Structure 1
Amino acid sequence: MHLKLGKSDKKIEAEKQCQPLKYAADIEDALDATGFGKYNFGLLLVCSWTLQAMGMDLFGTSFVVAAAVCDLALSMQQRALLTATPLIGVVLGAQLWGYVSDTKGRRLTLMLSMSVGFVFAALSSFAPNWEIMALLKLASSTFTSASNSGAYTLLGESCSQRARGRSMLLCTCALMCSQATVAVIAYPILPLSFAYPIDFLGISYRPWRLLALVMAIPCLATACLLHFFHESPKFLLSRGQHEKALEVLKKIYACNTGKSPENFPVKKLIDDSEEATCEESMLKAMWQQTTALFRPPLLKVTLKLFYLVTIVYMTGSGFILWLPYIMNNLFSVLESGGGSGMNLCTVLRHSIDSAVVVGNGTVIQEVCNDTIQETTLLSAMSYGALASSANLVLSLTCGSRKRLAMLFIIVLSALAAVLLNVVAVPIAGGIFFFIFLLCALSMGILSVYFVELYPTSLRGMASCLSVMLGRSSAFLGVNAIGALISANVRATFYAWSVLLMSAAVLAWYLPKDKKLNQ
């Protein structure tokens, strides 16, 4: 005798046949089973905003410094040092946050660091002199720098392998346009003319201070938004918390599909011995995590990636902090009716020479100018739109061609550095400078390599050490650029084109994409 199945029973039976239960699966198969939906899109947005908040804290300082140059009585060297100070914070905090991220969790790391970073960034708007402002920016960037490891790693470990590379490249769009976002915020703020005296601090609260305060708000906002998301299931599994990892996967599945968490096809996670960790002293664990990157089989990969990080960050992060200065000088010359027959380097040389006055034939004084041209802010917005659009196209097209995409970007940047020296049209020089800065697009591709080529237990440390190296290079680059531009603008860009070509040669020897996918 056969029992007839009702409609609901038939539906359940059909679903079982279409989607058999995977009672045991490894973490990658389990992530594939969660799909890609609302949870992943939401996490992508929050991680993107977290990186943008960090980028505003790091790169937005260049606009604040440009507008504060007279109030804080900054010389050219002090201006370069104050602009680059946030990069030191990244260096100081990178290894510590890598350890915290790998041992305490990606989500907790981000929530703590962004909250405290907000406090110091907000206080910097009340700094009475450039030394105190530098210390406060150093503290804020030390905390917000945790985004370099936490945001990318949390996002990459919470989505399937198929969508991972594309998601992380999309996440980089927000970082790429962080300076443009500051320009958008600065556009209505900096032209204001208010000045409120704060006697006990000995300062006059002017628009550039308000800009510094507004730039800090995204840090607090993203820390609050992270409360609505879960810890990385890969991290939980690596810490031996199998049940918690499975619960997180079920919740991601339910959010993405709209189905009950109990319908999640994976009922047990298979442990991977590579992910197993043990509790050790902090210093010993940090040392072991660091040295593991410089021993076979990871040594060759680490050296290649770290060299590329050095060159890319020196170029992308180094010159981007000089964008307001370079574009402001360019448009100042053009608006004064000059610049005919000049390339960008000649324009900069002319601006530097005209920024001093000679007294009695011997005393040279720099002319203080804290006016930021409207066209400078618009150009920063344009660059942000260009970089974000290019990164969006990159994320949609180069998922399986990361190595070739990196080669193309670096070579194109090197050629632009040569052309802005050669083409005697000021506006063309500005365009070539934008293309030269697009070298920063390689940062997103490098972050994908750091997720793919390192095990979970070392991924946070590898990412943080790479950023520590990159920001150290950027700090040296920013200060070197200031000195080199004053000495010989033309030689500066030619030297950078040679460095970029050396990076392109090394990028050719990265693991091929097909091997990575296998």
Structure 2
Amino acid sequence: MDFEIFSVGYLVPTSACELGTTSAQQGLMAATPVVGIIATSHIWGYLADTRGRKKVLCFSMTLSFVASTAAAFAPDWITFSVFKLISSTSVAGAFALAFTLLSECNPEAKRAFLLILTSTIFLCSSGIMAVIALPVLPLKFSYYIPALGIHFNSWRLLNLIYGFPSAISAFGLLFALESPKFFLSVGQEDKALDVLRTMFVINNRKSGDEYPIKSLALNEEEAPTGLTGLWSSIVAQTIPLFKPPLLKKTVLMSVIFVITYLSINPYVMWMPYIVDGFMRSVRRGEANLTFCERIRATHHLSHMDQIMAGVSGILLNSTSLWFLSAGLFLMFVAGTINFGFLSTFTVEIFPTYVKAMAVSLTLMMGRSSAVAGINVLKELLNTNCEASFYVFGSVTLVGAGFYFLLPAEASPVKTASKNRQTVP
């Protein structure tokens, strides 16, 4: 998902010469993936909760690979944008769906660790993209394809490379197991037992006949039944999130996602701009300048983690020691790890039949706020850099306060009897 969405940051500027794009057209191209994600996250959540996590993920990854590959052979910027819209739309729910599937197929004791590990890999993928782009983009080859009227060159090759992980994911998902909790939530106990029996065989290297559990029960509210029609089904999956007892959870998680994305994600987006200005000032040997003064000087010439992020942002311009201000900035943007913590918490507190939709919906709310934050931050960096850290840092601290209003995570549920298991 990360490769597909943020690939435009590398492909749009490097394709400008061949596609003949203006600055405004490049802006539209770069915004396309964000539009696709915000517009369709809710739909992917609905499909995952009604059709299955594995099936929907496999389809979305396949469609993303096909559309991304087609974009690599686009003859103009409009065609490129259309295919990128399709590919980004395809992966819009990948993060939420993958988290949901992973959480429902692993023991509760190891669940949080695996989800945080996954979110860490997700955050590291941006750096991996840069490592891949460094040797590929400078390549000086160009093969003309008469049928399309295009030259296949380095930026098109990079596009293909960035789309390849979607193909790997789709292939791997063919061998993955569906969530047993999903099967139970839609009344397919036999299939849930088959999945758990397969896990038992793989984990213990024993025969499936030795699996001791004969029946299962889902220890939570089950999905509504007897619905006909697509719209009725979507409404039935959505309305419970905005009614008690789930309303409080939905509002709180949405607010915290909004604050996290609004306050911290813009700094990640503008990281190259900020770090470039800061390091240029350090290399010039300029002394007694605060973090923002260094950025201005250069560009004129040319939970506990949330709590720490907010304090670091507020204190950032209180020191003229470059290494201390750099450390505070890193602590501030380290608040991005909250994306993983929040998603982990969301999959724990919502019932199975609306879980994927809950993760998708709260993520969509956060991503929508990031669009506003990115534009506001860019303006503040140019006009009043200090105010940006005070404002966003304070907002982050407010977000930390909302953590104390969240409900306690569910405790493990024990096996009810020898041959009947209650699934937590």
Task: Tell me the TM-score normalized by structure 1.
Answer: 0.72
- CA distance in 2 between partners of 1:495 and 1:449 (Å): 26
Which residue, 489, 497, 507 being the options, matches 2:393?
497
Contact 2:311 2:397 in 1 (8 A): no
Q: For residue 214 of structure 2, give the secondary structure of its aligned residue in structure 1.
A: strand
Q: Which blocks of at least 5 consecutive residues in structure 1 are unaligned?
A: 1-53, 356-406
Shift of 1:199: 6.8
Q: For residue 270 of structure 1, give the secondary structure of its aligned residue in structure 2.
A: strand
Which residue, 276, 293, 300 being the options, matches 1:353?
300
| 1:133-282 → structure 2 map (5 Å cutoff) | 133-195=80-142, 205-270=152-217, 274-278=221-225, 279-282=227-230
Residue 196 to residue 412, structure 1, CA distance change in 2 (3 Å)? farther
Moved more, 446-455 or 127-136: 127-136
- CA distance in 2 between partners of 1:444 and 1:250 (Å): 30
CA deviation map 1:352-391 (0-9, x unaligned): 4344xxxxxxxxxxxxxxxxxxxxxxxxxxxxxxxxxxxx
- CA distance in 1 between partners of 2:376 and 2:268 (Å): 14
Which residue, 330, 338, 343 being the options, matches 1:442?
338
**Aligned counterpart, 1:288:** 236
**Aligned counterpart, 1:506:** 402
- CA distance in 1 between partners of 2:309 and 2:148 (Å): 45
Shift of 1:272: 5.3
Does residue 313 (structure 1) correspond to residue 261 (structure 2)? The answer is: yes
Whichever residue aligns with residue 422 of structure 1, its letter is S
Contact 1:60 1:179 in 2 (8 A): no
Does residue 98 (structure 1) correspond to residue 45 (structure 2)? The answer is: yes
**Aligned counterpart, 2:419:** none
CA deviation map 1:308-362 (0-9, x unaligned): 0111122443332222333344445556x3654443323333444344xxxxxxx
**Aligned counterpart, 1:57:** 4
Residue 131 to residue 286, structure 1, CA distance change in 2 (3 Å)? same
Whichever residue aligns with residue 447 of structure 1, its letter is S
**Aligned counterpart, 1:297:** 245
- CA distance in 1 between partners of 2:159 and 2:336 (Å): 24
Residue 98 to residue 457, structure 1, CA distance change in 2 (3 Å)? same
- Higher relative contact order structure (alpha carbons within 8 Å, sequence separation ≥ 6): 1
- CA distance in 2 between partners of 1:199 and 1:489 (Å): 50
- CA distance in 1 between partners of 2:320 and 2:26 (Å): 29
Q: For residue 275 of structure 1, give the secondary structure of its aligned residue in structure 2.
A: coil
CA deviation map 1:243-300 (0-9, x unaligned): 1111111001111111111111101223557224424322112122222111111111
Residue 413 to residue 84, structure 1, CA distance change in 2 (3 Å)? farther
Q: For residue 72 of structure 2, give the secondary structure of its aligned residue in structure 1.
A: helix
| 1:32-71 → structure 2 map (5 Å cutoff) | 54-65=1-12, 67=14
**Aligned counterpart, 2:416:** none
**Aligned counterpart, 1:383:** none
Shift of 1:79: 5.7
- CA distance in 1 between partners of 2:30 and 2:345 (Å): 29
Whichever residue aligns with residue 368 of structure 2, its letter is S
Q: For residue 215 of structure 2, give the secondary structure of its aligned residue in structure 1.
A: strand
Residue 180 to residue 307, structure 1, CA distance change in 2 (3 Å)? same
Whichever residue aligns with residue 250 of structure 2, its letter is T
Whichever residue aligns with residue 476 of structure 1, its letter is A
* Identical amino acids, percent of aligned pairs: 33
- CA distance in 2 between partners of 1:79 and 1:485 (Å): 22
CA deviation map 1:149-176 (0-9, x unaligned): 3211111111222222222222212112
Shift of 1:426: 4.8
Shift of 1:443: 1.4
Moved more, 325-334 or 168-177: 325-334
Contact 1:238 1:277 in 2 (8 A): no
Does residue 322 (structure 1) correspond to residue 218 (structure 2)? The answer is: no
| 1:11-26 → structure 2 map (5 Å cutoff) | none
Q: For residue 187 of structure 2, give the secondary structure of its aligned residue in structure 1.
A: coil
CA deviation map 1:153-204 (0-9, x unaligned): 1111112222222222222121121101112212322343445566776665
Contact 1:110 1:223 in 2 (8 A): yes
- CA distance in 2 between partners of 1:462 and 1:133 (Å): 32
The count of aligned residue pairs is: 411
**Aligned counterpart, 2:364:** 468
Contact 2:53 2:179 in 1 (8 A): yes
Q: What is the RMSD computed on CA atoms of the aligned residues?
A: 2.8
CA deviation map 1:425-483 (0-9, x unaligned): 55554443332221111112211221121111111111111121122112222233333
Residue 223 to residue 492, structure 1, CA distance change in 2 (3 Å)? same
Contact 2:224 2:236 in 1 (8 A): no
Contact 1:63 1:324 in 2 (8 A): no
- CA distance in 2 between partners of 1:121 and 1:100 (Å): 22
**Aligned counterpart, 2:349:** 453
Shift of 1:218: 0.3
Which of the pair has more CA radius of gyration?
A: 1
Contact 1:126 1:209 in 2 (8 A): yes
